[in-house]
């Protein structure tokens, strides 16, 4: 397995330290590790040059986006099992009216979304293995293939959380690679790791291995079994290569929340409350 392009120090590393931690230049120190080092008077020493923070783009310009501009970062979502064809048509109409990045729908509703969005201005995203991720890899791959064949340009795949908690990292990676190889490189792949159920070390490892297995995005959560947390987004942004993006989803319902997640490093926001966010600050479609 190819190693990460950078090293990450987490709280457990500080707990094991005696007096100081010596790390290579460019090492990422998680927020929890920094706090614990300060609490325990542990000195972090860098080998060559002073440590630099994660890329400023994670919390700089993105955090200054206007409320209306947030629309281009939102995946407008309806994954309700009782969503009707009419509900999906409304979802798509709203996405086009407000300029959302994508609509996110269940596999059974991809064809309905394709029929409603004909100009391609809004991407169609389908979930795979949703919501548990506890599906056979071959089933996930087959489901993803059907969604792409029907017109989905993006796939939000739920990782097998049980394998992550078991430490079955090879099976986790193979699960992702099978889906990636099946859908091809032109389709955007987002991997949902349910970060709130993992510790810092496993969040970092799950994110890095997903990137190495072909993911374009790491997504924090399904919103069913876990909610998005700012600290998880910040941790992932510090650990991941700059070209790997982050999607925060689960419980994000206001402009303030969305902007906070973007400032922490999220590139996309998954939300069913996108229209409410637009009316909260814009007052009307733009």
Distance CA 109, CA 219 (A): 21
Catalytic site residue 243? no
DSSP β-bridge partners for residue 74:
269
DSSP β-bridge partners for residue 247:
219, 268
Catalytic site residue 156? yes
Backbone angles phi, psi at 45, to 5 degrees: -110, 130
Instruction: Exactly one of 156, 175, 232, 267 is catalytic; name it.
Output: 156
Instruction: Exactly one of 219, 232, 245, 267 is catalytic; name it.
Output: 219
Catalytic site residue 219? yes
Q: What's the start-to-end Cα distance of the chain, in Å? A: 47
Distance CA 128, CA 251 (A): 20
Instruction: Exactly one of 190, 232, 247, 267 is catalytic; name it.
Output: 247
How does 221-248 read in b/e, with b if 16+ C-beta sit within 10 Å? bbbebbbbbbebbbbbbbbbeeebbbbb
- CA neighbor of 112 nearest in space, from 95, 100, 135: 95
Active site residues: 156, 219, 247
């Amino acid at each position: 397995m190819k190693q990460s392009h950078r090293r990450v120090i987490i709280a457990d590393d500080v707990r094991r330290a005696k007096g100081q931690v010596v790390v290579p230049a460019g090492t990422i120190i998680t927020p929890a590790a920094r706090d614990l080092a300060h609490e325990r008077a542990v000195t972090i020493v860098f080998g060559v040059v002073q440590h630099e923070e994660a890329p400023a783009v994670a919390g700089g310009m993105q955090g200054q986006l206007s409320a209306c501009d947030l629309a281009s970062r939102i995946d407008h979502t309806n994954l309700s099992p009782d969503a009707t064809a009419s509900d999906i048509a409304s979802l798509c109409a709203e996405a086009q009216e407000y300029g959302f990045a994508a609509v996110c729908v269940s596999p059974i509703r991809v064809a309905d979304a394709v029929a409603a969005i004909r100009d391609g201005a809004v991407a169609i995203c389908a979930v795979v293995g949703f919501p548990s991720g506890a599906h056979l890899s071959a089933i996930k791959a087959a489901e993803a293939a059907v969604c792409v064949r029907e017109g989905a340009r993006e796939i939000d795949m739920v990782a097998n959380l049980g394998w992550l908690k078991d430490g079955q990292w090879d099976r986790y990676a193979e699960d992702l690679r099978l889906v990636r190889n099946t859908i091809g490189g032109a389709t955007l792949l987002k991997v949902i790791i349910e970060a709130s159920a993992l510790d810092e070390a496993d969040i970092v490892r799950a994110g890095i291995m997903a990137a190495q297995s072909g993911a374009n995005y790491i997504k924090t959560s399904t919103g069913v079994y876990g909610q998005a947390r700012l600290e998880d987004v910040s941790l992932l942004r510090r650990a991941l290569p700059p070209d790997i993006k982050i999607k925060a989803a689960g419980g994000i319902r206001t402009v303030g929340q969305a902007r906070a997640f973007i400032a922490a490093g999220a590139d996309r926001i998954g939300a069913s409350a996108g229209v409410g966010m637009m009316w909260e600050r814009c007052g009307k479609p733009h």
